[in-house]
């Protein structure tokens, strides 16, 4: 019997934004786990960001993708709305309801951010009694949002999230996020949540993505340049606001390493790619100001714009070593660690000790994993980080390679299998209609 699930993900390849990868991985690997996905997204013609055809080529042509229109960003910004799921709210809702009316759909997964489509869960349950799974790739109600000025755009969005998030959760049958810490924070906010109906599932990575590099040529206009005599230690991904204290210590360590081993480190650059997380942001520098303040900008290169996906993993594959840098937040998981590990390159990582990312990195081999609990511990790390940077440059082969069995459970295929198990569980647990009203309530 064919089982079909609807995945609502406003962004989907050829969008190059980070949020596409959950739906991309599931679209490719769910069929092998017994579920056929239908992807509901916003047509790329209405995206503001530069598109990534190379990423779209990684989606099997057999995947059914339903695309809907959206209001233009320019016209909506005159009333203060730019977020794509709000611009496409009507078409997304109508398409979702039409698919549920006309197709035999066993489960609905809504992944965010953006989070507003999660509000569809209550109507889906009321009209169709189909199980709904909500997937939080980031916190909707975030500590960062709580710190923003009350009447700023971010502050208003935070207060709106505090109203809308519990409404969405109450109508869901299961909740996933990328970390146990994120789930624990939701349970702390809403004690009525049933922890047995929640799971922490990182985005993971697909080792097969690297196979595509054999047929991929980086374009001549790529902002990433390579010099034969230059040795590169690369960070690829978003620079989160609370990553600054960690990056500062890495930069201070780079100063130490260049001072102590001038000949070895003379041609070494720290390359930061995609730090703004936006394909169109070419001047939003976040690392270079820190490097200038520390006096090490001559050895640091930052490319703020999010580069095409295959170009990004090509940077990882070509570098002498990779930098996996977290933040001072315990919940921060950095899904980019998995493509990094799958690149086969040695790594240096610095994460909060409570981060699930550090737990994986400390066990996987193939690099040097460092951690801290308190700010004073973080500030004491530069000397050790300097030693690690030198090791990455001098003897990277001595660090070996990450053990694939250590991250086997975080491959895209394994993640899809886990979601298939969740779908199977909530669709075979008796009366879906009865489960719909009680499944997220704490039985205690």
- Give Cα separations from 205 to 26, 63, 352, 410, 444 (angstroms): 11, 19, 21, 7, 36
- Whose tokens are 């109507």? That residue is 123
Q: Which of 3-7, 212-216, 332-336, 375-379 has the lowest mean pLDDT?
A: 332-336
| CB neighbour class for 214 (10 Å; exposed up to 12, middle 13-18, buried from 19) | exposed
Instruction: Name the band, by pLDDT with cuts 50, 70 and 90, for residue 443.
Output: low
Percent of the chain with pLDDT strictly greater than 70 = 95
Reduced to 3 states (helix: H, G, I; strand: E, B; else coil), residue 67 is strand
| Distance, C-alpha 179 to centroid of its chain | 11
**Cβ atoms 230, 205 nearer than 8 A:** no
The secondary structure of residue 233, as a DSSP letter, is: E
Per residue in 165-191, pLDDT tens? 999 999 999 999 988 888 999 999 999
The secondary structure of residue 378, as a DSSP letter, is: H
Across 259-303, where does the E strand assignment appear? 268-273, 300-303
Three-class SS string for 84-129? Answer: HHHHCHHHHHHHHHHHHHHCCCCEEEEEECCCHHHHHHHHHHHHHC
Give the sign of the dihedral formed by CA 182, CA 188, CA 194, CA 196. Answer: positive
Reduced to 3 states (helix: H, G, I; strand: E, B; else coil), residue 191 is coil
Task: Average the pLDDT over 75-92 and give the result.
Answer: 85
Contacts of 156 (CB under 8 A, 6+ apart): 150
CATH pick for 208-407 out of 3.40.50.2000, 3.40.50.10470, 3.90.1150.10, 1.20.81.30: 3.40.50.2000
Res 154: pLDDT: 73
Q: Which of 88-92, 175-179, 256-260, 354-358 has the lowest mean pLDDT?
A: 354-358
Task: Average the pLDDT over 245-256 and give the result.
Answer: 96
Q: Distance between terminal CA atoms of the chain?
A: 36
- Tell me what the pLDDT averaged over the chain comes to: 90
Whole-number Å distance between alpha carbons of 157 and 140: 9
Residue closest to 364 by CA, chosen among 401, 389, 310? 401
Residue 56 pLDDT > 60: yes
Give the chain's length. Answer: 444
Helix or strand (DSSP H, E) at 369: strand 367-372
The more confidently predicted of residues 57 and 73 is 57
Find the angle CA(10)-CA(413)-CA(26) to the nearest 5 degrees. 15
The more confidently predicted of residues 130 and 222 is 130
Res 272: pLDDT: 96
| Distance, C-alpha 194 to centroid of its chain | 25
Whole-number Å distance between alpha carbons of 94 and 100: 10
Per residue in 423-434, pLDDT tens? 999 988 643 443
Res 293: pLDDT: 95
| CB neighbour class for 428 (10 Å; exposed up to 12, middle 13-18, buried from 19) | exposed
Which pair of tokens denotes residue 61? 């042509």
Residue closest to 137 by CA, chosen among 47, 7, 242, 49? 7
Reduced to 3 states (helix: H, G, I; strand: E, B; else coil), residue 387 is helix
* R_g (Cα) of the chain, nearest Å: 22
Q: Which of 154-158, 364-368, 431-435 has the lowest mean pLDDT?
A: 431-435
The more confidently predicted of residues 420 and 217 is 420
Instruction: Name the band, by pLDDT with cuts 50, 70 and 90, for residue 215.
Output: confident
Asked if CATH classification 3.30.300.30 holds for the domain at 3-206+411-438, the reply, yes or no, is no
Res 433: pLDDT: 40
Q: Where does residue 400 fall: left (phi above 0), alpha (psi -120 to 50 degrees), or beta otherwise? A: left
Q: 37: which strand partners?
A: 5
Residue 126 pLDDT > 90: yes
| CB neighbour class for 384 (10 Å; exposed up to 12, middle 13-18, buried from 19) | middle
DSSP H helix total and E strand total for the chain: 20, 13
Instruction: Name the band, by pLDDT with cuts 50, 70 and 90, for residue 157.
Output: confident
Task: Average the pLDDT over 82-94 and give the result.
Answer: 92
The more confidently predicted of residues 92 and 330 is 92
Task: Tell me where in the chain the CATH 3.40.50.2000 domain(s) lie.
Answer: 3-206+411-438, 208-407
Whole-number Å distance between alpha carbons of 72 and 67: 15
Res 249: pLDDT: 96
């Amino acid at each position: 019997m064919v089982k079909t699930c609807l995945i609502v993900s406003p962004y989907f390849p050829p969008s190059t934004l980070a949020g596409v990868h959950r739906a991309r991985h599931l679209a490719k690997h769910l069929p092998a786990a017994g579920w056929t996905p239908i992807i509901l997204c916003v047509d790329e013609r209405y995206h503001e960001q530069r598109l990534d055809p190379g990423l779209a080529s990684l989606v099997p042509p057999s995947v059914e993708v339903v695309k809907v229109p959206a209001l233009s960003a320019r016209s909506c910004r005159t009333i203060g709305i730019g977020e794509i799921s709000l611009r496409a709210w009507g078409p997304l809702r109508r398409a979702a309801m039409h698919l549920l009316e006309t197709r035999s759909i066993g489960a609905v997964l809504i992944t965010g951010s953006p989070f507003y489509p999660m509000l569809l869960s209550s109507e889906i349950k009321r009209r169709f009694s189909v199980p709904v799974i909500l997937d939080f790739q980031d916190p909707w109600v975030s500590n960062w949002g709580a710190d923003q000025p009350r009447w700023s755009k971010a502050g208003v969005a935070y207060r709106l999230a505090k109203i809308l998030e519990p409404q969405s959760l109450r109508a869901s049958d299961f909740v996933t996020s990328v970390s146990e810490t994120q789930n624990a924070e939701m349970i702390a906010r809403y004690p009525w949540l049933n922890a047995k109906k929640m799971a922490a599932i990182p985005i993971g990575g697909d080792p097969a993505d690297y196979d595509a590099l054999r047929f991929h040529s980086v374009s001549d206009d790529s902002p990433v340049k390579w010099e034969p005599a230059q040795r590169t230690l690369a960070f690829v991904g978003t620079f989160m606001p609370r990553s600054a204290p960690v990056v500062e210590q890495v930069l201070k360590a780079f100063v130490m390493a260049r001072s102590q081993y001038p000949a070895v480190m003379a041609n070494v650059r720290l390359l930061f790619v995609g730090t703004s997380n936006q394909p169109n942001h070419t001047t939003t520098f976040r690392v270079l100001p820190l490097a200038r303040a520390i006096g090490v900008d001559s050895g640091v290169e930052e490319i703020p714009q999010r580069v095409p996906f295959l170009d990004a993993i090509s940077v990882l594959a070509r570098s002498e070593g990779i930098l996996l840098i977290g933040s001072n937040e315990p919940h921060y998981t950095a899904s980019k660690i998995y493509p990094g590990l799958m690149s086969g390159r040695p790594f240096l990582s610095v994460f909060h000790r409570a981060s699930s990312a550090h737990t994986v990195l400390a066990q996987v081999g193939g690099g040097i994993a460092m951690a801290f609990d308190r700010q004073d511990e973080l500030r004491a790390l530069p000397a050790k980080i300097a030693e690690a940077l030198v090791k990455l440059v001098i003897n990277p082969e001595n660090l070996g390679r990450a053990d694939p069995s250590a991250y086997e459970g975080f491959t895209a295929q394994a993640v899809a299998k886990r979601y298939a198990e969740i779908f199977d569980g909530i669709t075979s647990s008796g009366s879906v209609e009865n489960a719909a009203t009680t499944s997220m309530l704490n039985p205690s």
